[in-house]
Amino acid sequence: MTRVPFAARVAAGVAVTVVEEARKLPGSALMLPMTVVSEALARGMRFQQQVTALAIKGDLIIATLPVVGTPREEQPEWASFDEDEDDAVDTPVITDDVDVPDAPVAEPVAANGRFALYSTPPLDEPVQDTSAKRAPSVDKPEIVEMIDFDTLALAQLRARLRTLSVEDLEALLDYENDTLARAPFQTMLANRITTAKAK
């Protein structure tokens, strides 16, 4: 078998490639404008990035060179900084013979009132026993003993209000008025009595 010359083989390959590309031409013709535009945008962005990188390098070099003939920027009179003020202010010297009065100690605020539900006493203070404040002559209604009213927090009382009758609620309100008279408890009980009577 005789071998075909190299130039003929290259020409046959070119012809086959032209035929294949001609068959792809309808599909690639639709994509050609988008491809050209996207490549042009990508080249433009690459060019901008290279120019910006060169400008940054130039700025770094120029910043290190001493510029002849330009005055050094001075700090304006109105510009003052904390470091400048620390140097200017003389710190007072405290001697041992001067009596400095102690700061007044704030009294702890009782957690009664509007925020009683959300406030708790500090950990270092002992919890006050509220049963000592109650008048010994007040008779406890049966409902007070049944729900253990004296130990309930405001949120716990709120959870139990729906299960109580109007008579029980009124007994609890009277008991609260005669003993501690805590405003949040009184308000909650009075509101629940009004709601229960309206039904």
pLDDT classification of 132: cutoffs 50, 70, 90: very low
Share the mean pLDDT of the chain.
75
Residue predicted with more confidence, 10 or 107: 10
Residue predicted with more confidence, 91 or 45: 45
Residue 116 CA to residue 94 CA, distance in Å, equals 44
**Residue carrying structure tokens 């925020």:** 115
Mean per-residue pLDDT, 172-197: 88
Residue predicted with more confidence, 37 or 123: 37
Question: DSSP character for 106?
Answer: P
pLDDT classification of 128: cutoffs 50, 70, 90: low
- The separation between CA 111 and the C-alpha centre of its own chain, rounded to angstroms, equals 29
- The pLDDT value recorded for residue 127 is 53
Computed over its alpha carbons, how large is the radius of gyration of the chain?
A: 45
Residue 48: CB atoms within 10 Å:
10
Lowest mean pLDDT among 21-35, 82-96, 154-168: 82-96
Mean per-residue pLDDT, 87-92: 54
pLDDT classification of 16: cutoffs 50, 70, 90: very high
Whether residue 140 has pLDDT greater than 50: yes
Residue 134 CA to residue 142 CA, distance in Å, equals 16
Mean per-residue pLDDT, 115-124: 53
Whether residue 32 has pLDDT greater than 80: no
- The pLDDT value recorded for residue 95 is 53
Amino acid at 124: D
- The pLDDT value recorded for residue 65 is 81
- The pLDDT value recorded for residue 40 is 92
Whether residue 12 has pLDDT greater than 80: yes
Give pLDDT tens digits for 35-56: 888 999 999 999 999 999 999 9
